[in-house]
Amino acid sequence: MPPITAHDPEVAALIARETARQNAALTLVASENYASHAVLAAAGSALTNKYADGYPGARDYPGCEVCDDIETLARERLCRLFGAGHANVQPYSGSVANLAVYCALLNPGDRILSMKVEDGGHHTHGSPEHLSGRLYRAARYGVDPATGLLDYAEIAAAVRREQPALLICGGSFYPRTIDFGAFAEIADEAGTLCLADIAHLAGLIAGGQHPSPAGAVPLITTTTHKTLRGPRGGAILCDAEYAEEIDAAVYPCLQGGPLMHIIAAKAVCCAEAMTPAFKDYSRRVVANAKVLATALAAEGFSPFTGGTDTHLLVLDLAGAGIRGCDAEGALSRAGIAADRCPVPGRGEGYDTAGGIRLGTPAATTRGMGEEEMKALASLIAGILRNPHHPGRIGEARREVAQLARTFPVSP
């Protein structure tokens, strides 16, 4: 960071501290990852200096020729990666991407049907504290409490009962495959629009490890920084018939100037995600999550639904005598970041969460494989059995630090 060090040593020192923190600790937060040097370079480029309100060929500022080419490239790559008809790469975040879909295609007061937050849904899908819950009337479906799985017959019944204008699938901690085709069929039968929020699954879909909603579900939103391993931001994919309304909702309805440096970084991450190396990465992400789940089960901890098909698992701590927040704290003291999580079907909130969410995207980017997942499972089990034992936590911390040194963030 030489230019920052000379120009602003205070900020340079803080960035250096965060970089060191990321290197020394392990993150199993399922939504976190490490972007490549190329993605970071694009995000830190001179494109940040340019205003480019509008879209390629129709901007409100002069000098946007290069921005036009970059945005066109990012759109083309995103469409190619997911097999979509149209892409909007301007959303600042996944939250804005979701709002843009609602603004484009719903009227205030319309009904949304989405997954309960406490079962793995997202607050931008109609929670009362989010604008989506203030502008629209939200109804929720949950998982089957007996199996923890989505029950498509129940969801179809909820659609018939609630008559929503929009059915949303996708969320933050459902560990199993989502049958996007089933959601599309349910929505089609009811004449309802369907949105797939693939923020968590985007990288697995791009890498061929999870079925894609494209071609079945007409509206798709995502973030670009989770399993897709790009810059922090959002995007929308849709059938061509919705392109005009979606674009108008993003700009000028919700946003101002697009973040052209981030759009360039989105183009870079899409190119990376088309490589055989990324396909292999996403395969290893899922393989690692399965090994972690199996090894934790062998240690006596219960992965919710018995395991995972994806990049994450939810450990049900009910039988382990430890609350989610205490598990999060103990793991954190040992150098492992993982967030507490409600166990679906139990009506728990985040403050009363009885589970912990573990994800493998970041550890896999560091090069960890199945042996390291087994070692991590044993470390996690030891920490959760002795959450208040300073000696044991200290011992685990040293082992975590050694693992982190062996698998640095930027090899």
215: left (phi over 0), alpha (psi -120 to 50) or beta: left
Q: Is 31 in the site for ligand DSN (CB under 6 A)?
A: yes
Query: What angle do the packed helices 276-298 and 260-273 form, to 10 degrees?
Result: 80
State which of positions 119-138 bind ligand DSN (CB under 6 A): 122
Going across the sheet that includes 219-223, the strands are 86-88, 234-238, 219-223, 193-197, 166-169, 111-115, 137-141
Question: Which residue number, 311 or 366, has a Cβ lying nearer to ligand DSN?
Answer: 311
Token digits for 16? 């250096």
- For residue 15, the surrounding DSSP H or E stretch is helix 9-24
Q: How far is the CB of 310 from ligand DSN (least distance, A)?
A: 12
**Nearest-approach distance from CB 143 to ligand DSN, in angstroms:** 17
According to DSSP, the β-strands at 234-238 and 302-303 are unpaired
Give the residue from 270, 226, 237 showing the smallest Cα distance to 365: 226
Compute the least distance from the CB of residue 111 to ligand DSN, in Å: 23
Task: Please give the Cα distance from 74 to 42 (Å, whole number).
Answer: 12
- Nearest approach in angstroms of CB 170 to ligand DSN is 10
Which amino acid would we find at residue 82? F
Is 221 or 294 the residue whose CB approaches ligand DSN more closely? 221
Q: What are phi and psi of 257, to 5 degrees?
A: -60, 130
Confirm or reject binding of residue 288 to ligand DSN (CB under 6 A).
no
Closest CB to ligand DSN among 213 and 359? 359
Using the minimum distance from each CB to ligand DSN, give the nearer residue, 61 or 350.
Answer: 350
Q: How far is the CB of 200 from ligand DSN (least distance, A)?
A: 6
CB-based closest residue to ligand DSN: 31
From the CB of 234, what's the least distance to ligand DSN, in Å?
10
Rounded Cα distance, 154 and 157, in Å:
5
Tell the smallest beta-carbon distance from residue 232 to ligand DSN (Å). 11
Considering the complex, state which of residue 71 and residue 309 has its C-beta at the smaller distance from ligand DSN: 309
Report, in Å, the least distance between residue 197 CB and ligand DSN.
9
Regarding 114 and contact with ligand DSN (CB under 6 A), the answer is no
Out of 27, 127, 172, 365, name the contact with ligand DSN by CB under 6 A.
172
Instruction: Tokens for 333, please give them.
Output: 């003291």
Q: Which is nearer to ligand DSN, 96 or 295 (CB)?
A: 96
Quickly list H helices, 299-389: 324-333, 361-365, 370-385
Rounded to whole angstroms, the Cα distance separating 305 from 289 reads: 13
In the complex, least distance from residue 298 CB atom to ligand DSN, rounded to whole angstroms: 27
Q: Which is nearer to ligand DSN, 47 or 205 (CB)?
A: 205
Output Rg (C-alpha) for the chain, integer angstroms: 21
| 74-113: contacts with ligand DSN (CB under 6 A) | 94
CB of 43 to ligand DSN, least distance (A): 19
Cβ distance to ligand DSN smaller for residue 122 or 261: 122
Q: Are 356 and 175 in contact (CB under 8 A)?
A: no
Closest CB to ligand DSN among 122 and 229? 122
Q: ∠ at Cα 176 (172, 182), nearest 5°? A: 95
Strands of 123-203 (E only): list them: 137-141, 166-169, 193-197
CA nearest neighbour of 93 among 258, 299, 238: 258
Nearer to ligand DSN, 75 or 210 (CB): 210
d(CA 56, CA 64): 8
Smallest gap from Cβ 173 to ligand DSN, in A, equals 7
- Residues that bind ligand DSN (rule: CB under 6 A) add up to a total of 4
Structure tokens at 78: 């995103």
Closer CB to ligand DSN, 209 or 227, in the complex:
227
Q: How many helices (H) and strands (E) does the chain have?
A: 16, 15
Point out which residues bind ligand DSN (CB under 6 A): 31, 94, 122, 172
